[in-house]
Amino acid sequence: MSESSEKKELVLRVAEAKQKDVGRGKVRIDLGLLKSIGVEPGDIVEIEGKRKTAAVAWPNYTEDQGMDIIRMDGLVRKNVGVGIGDKVIVRKANPKPAQSVKLAPSSFNIQIEESFVSYVKRRLVDYPLVEEDTILIPVLGQAIPFTVIQTKPQGIVIVTPETDVKVLDKPIEPGRMPRVTYEDIGGLKNVIQRVRELIELPLKYPEVFKRLGIDPPKGVLLYGPPGTGKTLLAKAVANETQSYFISINGPEIMSKFYGESEQRLREIFEEAKKHAPTIIFIDEIDAIAPKRDEVVGEVERRVVAQLLALMDGLEARGDVIVIGATNRPNAVD
């Protein structure tokens, strides 16, 4: 059993949350392990991976008893900076009442009214927060991501009815990190497992591929009818791997002006290399990479050649991966 009796902490492997626990700020741990570090069900624990966050600990499910795992949803994994299968350190937390909390929308501007701030505060009472955490606030049936910009005091805090909550109207540092997690995708368990092997492993553990002498894939093609989750899956992989995400639509790349389409592609790949690890998602890739022997126009031929040249030019480190999506796989070069 992975336990340190001196420091009163556990080393546990991250597992996927059950759907009923998603979005609730819960983690599930074996009851015996919880008690061994002085934690009772409903207590707050500190979780440490690449960064630290906090969550409410509850006993695990019957099928998990005796296992050194911690079940957490994609939001908690993001806040800890880990993925499924990684290891984290868990210890009992000593949260302090928050004097003040400042939040900002994570990705877009919003209009702030006093009634909305009051609503946010009510949602957060008794919720543990850490600076730089991402939290989700339900608004009109949609979960809106907010970033915890500042807490007083620092460390793990609990929002109380006396906490002064401020909500900014625009992001502090707008980014390109999608907020989709694997739990948001239903019915694609086998596909998710395959995609994790092809994309997530090279992005997170490039040294393993280098040691084995295996070149990670530079590109992966997702194909299926519209609405089956291809875009959602690409966003989830980028989020789970903490990767920069660039999404482009194939037809939008095409331009009637000479050389403009190729220039757009070069700029996209330069941006990807600059922010690596990066996932470039090309929707309707058949529009810019049709079979060259069936292409009539000169523009299409040049764009296909440019895309292949850029992909060939990617270093085999797995830090930039192209995901193409189409419902016409036989039409792709």
pLDDT digits (tens, 9 = 90+) for 107-145: 778 888 889 999 999 999 999 999 889 999 888 778 888
Span 151-190, pLDDT tens digits: 999 899 999 999 999 998 888 654 455 567 787 787 788 8
What pLDDT score was predicted for residue 77?
94
Pick the CATH number of 182-331 from 3.40.50.300, 3.40.50.10310, 1.10.1030.10, 3.40.50.12590: 3.40.50.300
Tell the residue number behind the tokens 């270093």, with chain if given.
315
For the purposes of burial, counting CB atoms within 10 Å of the CB of 249, is it exposed (0-12), middle (13-18) or buried (19 or more)? middle
Give the model's pLDDT for residue 177. Answer: 53
Question: Which pair of structure tokens corresponds to residue 311?
Answer: 């992909």
Phi then psi dihedrals of residue 310, to 5 deg:
-65, -40
Q: Mind listing the pLDDT tens digit for each residue in 234-247?
A: 888 888 887 888 88
Q: Which amino acid is at 194?
A: R
Fold of 3-92: Barwin-like endoglucanases (2.40.40)
Q: Which two tokens stand for residue 206?
A: 């490039």
- The tokens for 149 are 């910009």
Report the chain's mean pLDDT, rounded to a whole number.
85
d(CA 64, CA 220): 34
Question: What pLDDT score does 175 carry?
Answer: 46
Question: Which pLDDT tens digit goes with each residue over 80-100?
Answer: 989 899 999 999 999 999 999
CB 281 within 8 A of CB 323: yes
Distance CA 96, CA 105 (A): 24
What pLDDT shows up at residue 6? 44
Does the domain at residues 96-167 carry the CATH identifier 3.40.50.920?
A: no
| pLDDT score recorded for residue 295 | 60
Residue spans per domain, the chain: 3-92, 96-167, 182-331
Distance CA 129, CA 135 (A): 9
Q: Give the model confidence (pLDDT) of 241-298 as tens digits.
A: 878 888 888 777 776 566 788 888 899 888 888 888 888 999 888 877 777 666 656 7
